[in-house]
């Protein structure tokens, strides 16, 4: 084979190879452009959606913080210790036989006998026995409650800086919570005291334990 023909064949093969390589590179670039085009379109769509949401979302009103004040109320339930009712330093005394009378009473273990605030005590005789009539002022009522009871006895009470005072004593039924007992009460004017009644040891003995740090443990105020 002549040498000139061989050179021409070699050149033709080189040209053909270069053409094929160029065509392959062009095809690869076109594929890459097609693959990257959807991603760009997706980002554009997402950005547009976010901007639309920001435009259509209503403006929220600023949150105003309000200070909330709470109040806790402790409610005491009746408690018993060693089969005795625990009562407070002040309780409501209920007199069922005196017109449903209810008054606040100081519970005092230092007092031997209970006492009640009364007015206008008068002694009289009934069926040959000594009786006493008296008026019990009731808060909230215009007229006092009139009560008549047999006279149990008379006592002389020593008062600091004053002369001894004679007091009339009657038997009265009184109730503190679930406790009820008929016991002696001295009748006296307690205008100078905070509470119209005083519950002493003659009522409390063997029935109650006094917690002076609280009030109205056994009764409602």
For 2, the token pair is 């002549």
Query: What CA–CA distance (Å, rounded) separates 121 from 204?
Result: 26
**Best CA proximity match to 180, nearest among 94, 102, 83:** 94
Q: Report pLDDT digits (tens) over 39-80.
A: 444 444 455 555 555 555 556 666 666 666 666 555 557 787
For 12, the token pair is 């033709």
Specify the pLDDT at position 4.
59
pTM for the whole thing? 0.63
Q: Report pLDDT digits (tens) over 76-91.
A: 577 877 789 999 999 9
Query: What CA–CA distance (Å, rounded) separates 94 from 181?
Result: 11
Query: What CA–CA distance (Å, rounded) separates 36 from 31?
Result: 9
Average pLDDT for residues 94-119, to the nearest whole number?
Answer: 91
């Amino acid at each position: 084979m002549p040498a000139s023909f061989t050179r021409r064949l070699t050149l033709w093969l080189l040209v053909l190879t270069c053409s094929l390589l160029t065509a392959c590179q062009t095809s690869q670039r076109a594929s890459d452009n097609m693959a990257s085009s959807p991603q760009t379109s997706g980002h554009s769509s997402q950005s547009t959606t976010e901007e639309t949401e920001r435009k259509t979302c209503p403006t929220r009103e600023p949150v105003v913080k309000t200070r909330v004040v709470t109040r806790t109320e402790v409610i005491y339930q009746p408690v018993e210790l060693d089969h005795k009712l625990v009562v407070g330093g002040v309780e409501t005394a209920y007199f069922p036989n005196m017109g449903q009378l209810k008054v606040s009473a100081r519970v005092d273990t230092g007092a031997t006998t209970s006492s009640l605030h009364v007015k206008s005590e008068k002694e009289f005789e009934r069926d040959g026995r000594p009786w006493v009539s008296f008026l019990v002022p009731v808060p909230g009522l215009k007229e006092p409650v009139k009560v008549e009871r047999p006279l149990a006895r008379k006592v002389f009470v020593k008062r600091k800086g004053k002369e001894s005072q004679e007091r009339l004593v009657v038997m009265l039924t009184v109730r503190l919570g679930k406790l009820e007992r008929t016991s002696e009460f001295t009748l006296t004017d307690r205008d100078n005291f905070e509470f119209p009644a005083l519950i002493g040891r003659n009522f409390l003995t063997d029935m109650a334990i006094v917690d002076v740090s609280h009030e109205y443990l056994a009764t409602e105020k």
